[in-house]
């Protein structure tokens, strides 16, 4: 059996891992990337996650037909996939090995690629294997030929006339909006009785109303009992479907790693446990990206890389605990974006706040794009005038939220955004109006 030694071994070709491999090479250190699936060079986002899904969502909003949208998605994915691969693999000290990595001990890995088995030894090992959709235990789900996950939904050759989506979380809602735009009859089945319970009630109600108005059928508080090739039995009702999309969460890709042989511990939720420097319970092993839990966003994987890079080559000042402000966006129509506290969280924590709130309709740009739906909300500290959080549900909120994020990070008083000179017409200038509309 072939045995090779590397100073750095990275398991998984995700964003954090490939960025780290490139940086290690630029610092004169060898780095081996082990990837079990060549189609996943680059990780989840460019291949089966945010980039292809948002390409399809935008295509639907532009009234592109399904076949054209899929062709566009494949082109975008190929460009991003190749760019991600060559961005790391073309570095002189980066090596790529295909195969399934398994720990033998904390420094040694067995890599299986078909009939070939290799052994590699690393001084440092970085786990960057990502996460994968959860398949819940439902009668018939394994046998059904038409059950798909979010990944499978982006590989369909034909548009389903009827699609049932199990789960009304953010992923389920994005795909519901997408398939609805393409012309599918969409039915969402959600076991919880509350729609989007993590959001403020007024925001959840508005999104629910808009989805229903667009033609999406939503059933709350229904338990899925059985699935066949063409039907879903839930809450005593039968729903017919050409495809059944399961959107019930994600789990870490750790099944084949044999983490126990390396002494790597897991959290209560089953993800790899890390400290403030992203080190695992084993001194020479780190975990980056979705596999360590927390928010599963491309930009957080990027920031994980920054933390490790700072630990290896910087002043050791960057920590996971510094990451207190993380914006996110849900690409429904219009987009939902958030950062910091909302009213529900503030009340639960006993935080005093001033509330600013307005409808999106008065913003000139919303009339220009002919989509006046939505609500803007922001919470402000009554003592410091700093922004505590914002929820933006309107056209282009995924861009505007970054302005609020920057203002919060810089401890900027809300009056700066209230009086800022913005270009016109833009959704960003809605912040001028928002911070003049205090709810007394």
Active site residues: 424
Do the Cβ atoms of 320 and 278 come closer than 8 Å? yes
The CA–CA distances, whole Å, from 269 to 250, 251, 265 equal 11, 9, 11
Smallest CA-to-CA distance from 34 within 44, 50, 52, 21 is with: 21
Residue ranges of E strands in 215-295: 217-220, 224-227, 231-234, 237-240, 243-246, 250-252, 285-287
Alpha carbon distance 413, 416 (integer Å): 6
DSSP assignment letter at 413: B
Do the Cβ atoms of 261 and 105 come closer than 8 Å? yes
Reply yes or no: is the peptide bond before residue 57 cis, omega within 30 of 0: no
Alpha carbon distance 314, 318 (integer Å): 9
Do the Cβ atoms of 404 and 339 come closer than 8 Å? yes
End-to-end CA distance of the chain: 73
């Amino acid at each position: 059996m072939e045995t090779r030694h590397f100073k750095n071994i990275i398991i998984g070709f995700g964003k954090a891992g490939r960025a780290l491999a490139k940086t290690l090479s630029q610092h004169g250190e060898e780095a081996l990337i082990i990837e079990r699936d060549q189609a996943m060079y680059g990780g989840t986002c460019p291949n089966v996650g945010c980039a292809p899904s948002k390409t399809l969502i935008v295509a639907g909003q532009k009234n592109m037909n399904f076949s054209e949208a899929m062709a566009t998605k494949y082109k975008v994915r190929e460009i991003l996939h190749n760019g991600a691969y060559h961005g790391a693999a073309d570095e002189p000290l980066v090596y790529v090995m295909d195969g399934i990595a398994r720990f033998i001990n904390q420094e040694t890995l067995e890599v299986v690629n078909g009939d070939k088995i290799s052994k590699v030894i690393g001084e440092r090992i970085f786990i960057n294997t990502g996460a994968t959709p959860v398949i819940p235990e439902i009668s018939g789900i394994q046998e059904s030929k038409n059950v798909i996950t979010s990944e499978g939904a982006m590989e369909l050759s034909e548009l389903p006339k009827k699609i049932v989506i199990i789960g009304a979380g953010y992923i389920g809602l994005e795909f519901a909006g997408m398939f609805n735009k393409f012309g599918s009859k969409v039915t969402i089945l959600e076991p919880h009785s509350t729609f989007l319970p993590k959001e403020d009630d007024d925001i959840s109600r508005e999104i629910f109303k808009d989805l229903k108005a667009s033609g999406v059928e939503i059933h709350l508080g229904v338990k899925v009992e059985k699935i066949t090739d063409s039907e879903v039995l839930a809450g005593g009702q039968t729903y017919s479907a050409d495809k059944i999309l399961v959107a019930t969460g994600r789990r870490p890709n750790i099944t084949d790693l044999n983490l126990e042989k390396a002494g790597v511990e897991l959290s209560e939720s089953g993800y790899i446990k890390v400290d403030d420097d992203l080190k695992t319970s084993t001194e020479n092993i780190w975990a980056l990206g979705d596999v360590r839990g927390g928010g599963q966003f491309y930009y957080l994987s990027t920031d994980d890389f920054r933390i490790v890079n700072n630990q290896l080559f910087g002043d050791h000042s960057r920590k996971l605990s510094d990451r207190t402000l993380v914006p996110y966006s849900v690409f429904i129509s219009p987009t939902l974006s958030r950062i910091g506290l909302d009213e529900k969280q503030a009340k639960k924590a006993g935080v005093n706040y001033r509330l600013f709130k307005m409808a999106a309709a008065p913003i000139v740009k919303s009339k220009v794009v002919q989509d006046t739906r939505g609500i803007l909300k922001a919470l402000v500290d009554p003592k410091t005038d700093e922004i505590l959080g914002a929820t933006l549900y309107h056209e282009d909120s995924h861009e505007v939220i970054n302005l609020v994020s920057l203002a919060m990070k810089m401890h900027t008083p809300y009056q700066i955004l209230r009086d800022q000179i913005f270009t016109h017409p833009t959704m960003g200038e809605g912040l001028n109006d928002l911070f003049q509309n205090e709810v007394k």
